Amino acid sequence: MLKFENVSKRYQETGEVLRDVSFHLRHGELAFLTGHSGAGKSTLLKLIGVMERCNKGQIFLDGENLSHAKEKQIPYLRRKMGFIYQDYKLLQDRTVFDNVALPLVIAGFGHQEIGRKVRAVLDKVGLSGKEKKFPLALSGGEQQRVGIARAVVNKPPIIIADEPTGNLDPELSSEIMSLFESFQQVGVTVFIASHDISLIKKMNHRVLKLDHGQLVSS
């Protein structure tokens, strides 16, 4: 599903952030990406989302080479990934419904289909009945669920989460994690960057560890 082959990323200001990173996530696998802050976790995720390009090596998503993707292809590649962020990245002036519907609107679905899909996914993440609320009226855990709903509404084959529980208390965190596990159970590949070691240990999944830009265990 996701394959890194000897990937290196160098920034002019900070030098080499990722060095010779290689790994392979299979279809339907759930894996954590961990490491100290500044180890290169965020950079690695940006390379997957083609927000940055690697200097060396190649990245494959579902057989497609991301490192050779043209600018025009990037939006279509991003539709195959569901990104989840620590700060949720929700539109504060739009309702929960509109936030979740955004990927479907962009993909060109008709409004009946959008309504059906959005309600289904809100039901799945436990937010049914809150579709008309604005993000600021929700708790942190609920906002993150909106973020997750938006990431999975268009049924991408892979979900990528960047510190999804960074702003949540342990109880909410494990709820969110079990939500991710439920996605994995229906065949979605899930890749979660986190430094919450105790939570990761509890969950017993594959762990990729970055240390100063190098993959030290996978």
Partner 1 sequence: MNKYNKRRQQTREVKPPKYLKPAKSDSRQNTVAGGSFMDKLNAYRDLHAHALFSSLGRLVASPFTSIMTVAVLAIAISLASGFYLVLVNFQQLTSHLETSTQISLFLKEEVSELHAKKLADGIRNKPEVQQVTLINKEQGLAEFKTYSGFGSAISALKTNPLPIVIQVLPKNSLTDKRQLEALLHEFQQNVDVDLAQMDMQWLERLQSIIAVGECAATILNLMLGLAVLFITANTIRLELHSRREEVIIAKLVGATHGFIQRPFLYAGLWIGFISGVVAWFIVTAMMLILRSPVETLSSLYGGNFHLVFFSFTETLKLIGISSLLGVVGSWAVLMYQLQHTKPE
One residue of 79, 132, 201, 202 binding partner 1 per CB under 8 A? 79
Tell me if 164 contacts partner 1 by CB under 8 A: no
Residue 78 burial (10 A CB sphere; 0-12, 13-18, 19+): middle
One residue of 24, 38, 120, 197 binding partner 1 per CB under 8 A? 120
Structure tokens at 217: 């265990």
Of the candidates 214, 199, 195, the residue with the CA atom closest to the CA atom of residue 86:
195
Structure tokens at 16: 């080499």
Tell me if 15 contacts partner 1 by CB under 8 A: no
CB neighbour burial string for 198-211, b if at least 16 within 10 angstroms, e if fewer? ebbeebebebbbbe
Q: Which 3 state secondary structure label does DSSP give 73?
A: helix
Which region, judged by CB under 8 A, interacts with partner 1, from 4-12, 76-84, 135-143, 165-173? 76-84
One residue of 24, 53, 68, 89 binding partner 1 per CB under 8 A? 89
Which region, judged by CB under 8 A, interacts with partner 1, from 9-17, 32-40, 113-121, 198-206? 113-121
Phi, psi of 169 (to 5 degrees): -75, 165
Beta-carbon contacts of residue 173 (< 8 Å; ≥ 6 apart):
165, 196, 199
One residue of 109, 138, 161, 192 binding partner 1 per CB under 8 A? 109
Q: Supply the minimum distance, in Å, between the C-beta of residue 113 and partner 1.
A: 7
Q: What is the number of residues in the chain?
A: 218
Tell me if 49 contacts partner 1 by CB under 8 A: yes
Tell me if 76 contacts partner 1 by CB under 8 A: yes
Binding-site ranges for partner 1 (CB under 8 A)? 27-28, 46, 49, 51, 62, 72, 75-80, 83, 89-91, 102-111, 113, 120-121, 123-124, 150, 154-155, 157, 185-188
